[in-house]
Structure 1
């Protein structure tokens, strides 16, 4: 699934994330999104830093995902999404929280488009 996502998925960037997504047939109808988070070990050689960034990103996503889920369910869509952190510094939670609201709005618009 991840290989297909990176090969065939659409992408956009909203600093500090690169977002890769594609429509998917998930194994459950309970959740309309399967999400993944990634941080470069080249930019952050210490695992503790990578884990912190992923944890902050997952929490920012968790707090704001419900309207996104509702919009996808209304349109009968399921998505596979991957968030790749691109900054060279660890962002604070407030910054990530604001960025995720923008990311999820754009993702909702992009997912609903027919290309």
Structure 2
């Protein structure tokens, strides 16, 4: 069976630039979707990808890197599987959106509730950028 191309998270889609991240945290609006805090900001459409995504977990509640990495992996997976509708919406408008999810929960999450909150956040972003 051939792998589906739409459910990928390529290197070009990752939000890595220190300059972009600093701008995002300083100027961008944010909202909470359950245990996720979501920063979002439209950018000049110079990027080839319509969505740039990053994820972070604080060290206050999760001292072990193993736990932080697991949470980030779960969030990335939930995002990867659900981003398509928002991506298509941005492509039709020729916009580039930077998104950064920060996990604010205090316990190690299960995948299902995290996937629900990720879906909620992506739907809210779709409404904002209609």
TM-score (norm 2): 0.81
1:71 maps to what in 2? Answer: 89
Alignment of 1:34-45 (within 5 A): 34-45=52-63
Question: 96, 99, 106: which one pairs with 1:88?
Answer: 106
Correspondence for 2:41 among 22, 25, 35: 22
C-alpha displacement of 1:25: 2.6
Which of 69, 73, 76 is the equivalent residue of 1:55?
Answer: 73
1:70: how far off? 0.5
The structural deviation recorded for 1:111 is 2.4
- Inter-partner Cα distance in structure 2 for 1:108 and 1:100: 12
Q: For structure 1, which segment, 96-105 or 41-50, has the greater mean C-alpha deviation from structure 2 after superposition? A: 96-105
SS at 2:44 equivalent: coil
CA distances 1:62-106 after superposition (whole Å, capped 9, x unpaired): 000111100111222211111000000111111111111111010
Q: Using the alignment, how far apart are the partners of 2:59 and 2:107 within structure 1?
A: 13
CA positional deviation for 1:28:
3.1
Q: Considering only aligned residues, what root-mean-square deviation do their CA atoms show, in Å?
A: 1.2
Aligned length: 111
Cα distance between partner residues in 2 of 1:82 and 1:88: 19
Runs of 4+ in 1 over 2 A off after TM superposition: 25-28
Q: Determine the structure 2 residue equivalent to 1:7.
A: 26
CA separation in 1, counterparts of 2:46 and 2:107? 36
List gaps (5 residues or longer) in structure 2: 1-19
Which residue number in structure 1 is paired with residue 3 of structure 2?
none
